């Protein structure tokens, strides 16, 4: 298996106010993009596994609320209402396995994972992007290479049973299920649970604080396991934040990104040398001025040899102007790439420093007793797996829900 092929599943929180910006990017509603690597000529190749037609995400949500499908009851105006989930594996993985067609099959299955996670009716949009150019891979392969990934906009719905309270006048109804609300709640959907030891007591970290099952980490596990079970091989689970491999991978990416600005600068220098060598003038200004003689009729005559030189020089000058313009544009684009890469390298260096500091105790222990550390970590992860809650959407059985007629009757009985 090639080193560095990792699956990634991450969640970004979106509010009703902020989701429009991301909707325009996901659905390609903009005429231009901050991301200069979007190739709009390939946008028709993007695959929509689910959409909301002509409605915006917020309009679709309003319809679901009006139809009683979901509820925002109790949420503040700036609460997280949408989850944007990005499912991804690095570009090279798809390129080696068949490119676009393979990516379509892979992400169709990944979409089914999202359906299981959120519930089919709670997914507003699912789009595989196939129009974002991967510059590094393009340079590696010498042809346009595109980065395939899946954007899913979903509602984090949890089912909540509302029961009759003691205020109900019919004692027989107290405690019975009054209705089931499909509540939008990011905090409940992704609630982290405390890890317990074999005696049922909370596991504490070195600072004496409880250790939690990180829901997002469980998401990484479940996505990886689901895709492997579906028959997709050749990649690993996204690296955990506390592993040496993650540091190595990040360091390698920094190293590669640091090389690219230097390579681009060499290309600029090479173009300049090629331009200078291929566009030398064959005549000096003095030679040009003295090449023609004015006749009595006011016309200029030149020797055949000078005429040939002048026409050749004119053609070369015209070509040089065009070539110079092309090189200026290419130089400008390459300079932008250098700036972008330098910015990315700076961010990666910061991430690497933070990750190194965070992992320092683990790395030092790993050097001293590698086998014991690995056994210890494996033991903890195994305990976590036995305790972790399900993150899949589990709708409350329909038989527990009342019919509208029965609900009205019970309401009247309770009011008597």
pLDDT per residue as tens digits for the range 143-185:
899 999 999 999 999 988 878 788 887 788 877 877 788 899 9
Residue 78 belongs to a domain: yes
Same domain, 231 and 295: no
Distances in Å between the alpha carbon of 356 and those of 44, 147, 242?
42, 28, 9
Q: Among 11-25, 257-271, 275-289, which is the least confidently predicted range?
A: 275-289
Number of helices (H), then strands (E), belonging to the chain: the values are 12, 12
Residue 390 belongs to a domain: no
Residue 356 belongs to a domain: yes
Mapped onto helix, strand or coil, the DSSP state of residue 127 is: strand
Same domain, 156 and 41: yes
List b or e across 298-316, with b for residues whose CB sees 16 or more CB atoms inside 10 angstroms: eeeeeeeebeebbeebeeb
- pLDDT per position as a tens digit, 287-346: 555 666 656 566 766 667 767 776 777 777 767 777 777 777 777 777 776 776 777 777
pLDDT score for 415: 54
- Statement: residue 398 has pLDDT above 50: no
Residue 393 belongs to a domain: no
Same domain, 194 and 289: no
Q: What is the DSSP string of 62-118?
A: HHHHHTTS-B-TT--TTS--EEEEEEEE-HHHHHHHTTHHHHHHHHHHHHHHHHHHH
Q: Using 50, 70 and 90 to split pLDDT, how confident is the model at 284?
A: low
| Residue 168: CATH number of its domain | 3.30.930.30
Same domain, 181 and 297: no
Mapped onto helix, strand or coil, the DSSP state of residue 27 is: coil
pLDDT score for 188: 87
- pLDDT per position as a tens digit, 188-243: 888 877 766 767 777 777 677 776 666 777 888 899 999 999 999 988 886 544 33
CA distance 45 to 283: 53
Same domain, 73 and 186: yes
Residue with tokens 């059985």: 397
CA-based R_g, the chain, Å: 32
Is the pLDDT higher at 84 or at 31?
Answer: 84
- Statement: residue 2 has pLDDT above 60: no
Same domain, 318 and 214: no
Same domain, 234 and 286: no
pLDDT score for 285: 53
Residue 1 belongs to a domain: no
In terms of Cβ atoms closer than 10 Å to its own Cβ (0-12, 13-18, 19+), residue 290 is exposed
First to last CA, the chain: 70
Choosing from 194, 219, 243, the residue where a domain stops is: 243
- pLDDT per position as a tens digit, 90-137: 899 999 999 999 999 999 999 999 999 999 999 999 999 999 988 888
Same domain, 125 and 212: yes
To the nearest whole percent, how much of the chain has pLDDT over 90? 30
Mean pLDDT of the chain: 78
Choosing from 243, 271, 299, the residue where a domain stops is: 243
pLDDT score for 82: 96
Residue 263 belongs to a domain: no
pLDDT score for 387: 54
Residue 18 belongs to a domain: yes
pTM: 0.64
Domain that holds residue 23: 6-243
List b or e across 140-169, with b for residues whose CB sees 16 or more CB atoms inside 10 angstroms: eeeeebbbbbbbbbbbbbbbeeeebeeebe
- pLDDT per position as a tens digit, 371-382: 887 777 777 666
Domain count, the chain: 2
Residue with tokens 């595989």: 128
CA distance 172 to 403: 18
Contacts 24+ apart (CB under 8 A), 24-28: 26/84, 26/125, 26/127, 26/129, 26/151, 26/153, 27/51, 27/125, 27/127, 28/131
Same domain, 223 and 294: no
Which of 159-163, 258-262, 353-357 is the most confident on average? 159-163
Same domain, 317 and 192: no
Same domain, 304 and 233: no
Residue 339 belongs to a domain: yes
Same domain, 239 and 294: no
């Amino acid at each position: 298996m090639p080193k560095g092929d990792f699956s990634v599943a991450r969640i970004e929180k979106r509010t009703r106010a902020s989701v429009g910006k991301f909707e325009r990017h996901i659905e390609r509603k903009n005429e231009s993009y901050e991301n200069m690597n979007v190739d709009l000529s390939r946008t028709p190749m993007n695959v929509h596994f689910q959409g909301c037609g002509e409605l915006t995400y917020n309009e679709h949500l309003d319809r679901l609320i009006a139809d009683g499908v979901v509820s925002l009851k109790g949420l503040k105006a700036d609460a997280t209402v949408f989850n944007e989930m990005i499912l991804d594996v690095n570009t090279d993985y798809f390129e080696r396995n068949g490119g676009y067609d393979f990516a379509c099959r892979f992400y169709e299955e990944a979409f089914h994972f999202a359906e299981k996670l959120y519930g089919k009716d709670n997914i507003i949009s699912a789009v595989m992007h196939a129009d974002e150019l991967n510059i590094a891979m393009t340079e590696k392969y010498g042809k346009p290479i595109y980065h395939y990934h899946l954007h899913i906009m979903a509602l984090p719905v949890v089912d909540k049973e509302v029961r009759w309270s003691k205020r109900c006048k019919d004692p027989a109804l107290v405690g019975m299920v009054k209705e089931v609300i499909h509540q939008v709640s990011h905090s409940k959907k992704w609630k982290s649970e405390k890890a317990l030891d074999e005696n049922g007591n909370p596991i504490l970290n070195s600072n004496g604080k409880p250790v939690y099952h990180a829901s997002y980490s469980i998401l990484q596990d479940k996505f990886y396991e689901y895709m492997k079970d579906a028959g997709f091989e050749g990649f690993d689970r996204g690296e955990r934040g506390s592993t040496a491999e993650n540091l190595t991978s990040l360091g390698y990416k920094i190293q590669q990104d640091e090389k690219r600005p230097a390579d681009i600068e060499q290309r600029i220098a090479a173009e300049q040398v090629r331009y200078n060598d291929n566009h030398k003038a064959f005549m000096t200004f003095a030679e040009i001025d003295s090449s023609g003689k004015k006749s009595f009729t006011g016309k200029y005559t030149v020797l055949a040899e000078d005429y040939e030189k002048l026409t050749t020089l004119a053609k070369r000058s015209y070509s040089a102007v065009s070539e110079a313009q092309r090189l200026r544009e290419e130089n400008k684009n390459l300079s932008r790439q250098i700036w972008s890469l330098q910015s990315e390298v700076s961010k990666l260096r910061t991430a690497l420093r933070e990750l190194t500091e965070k992992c320092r105790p683990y790395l030092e222990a790993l050097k001293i007793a590698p086998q014991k550390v690995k056994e210890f970590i494996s033991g903890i992860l195994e305990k976590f797996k036995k305790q972790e809650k399900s993150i899949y959407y589990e709708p409350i059985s329909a038989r527990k829900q009342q019919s509208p007629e029965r609900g009205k009757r019970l309401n009247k009985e309770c009011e008597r």
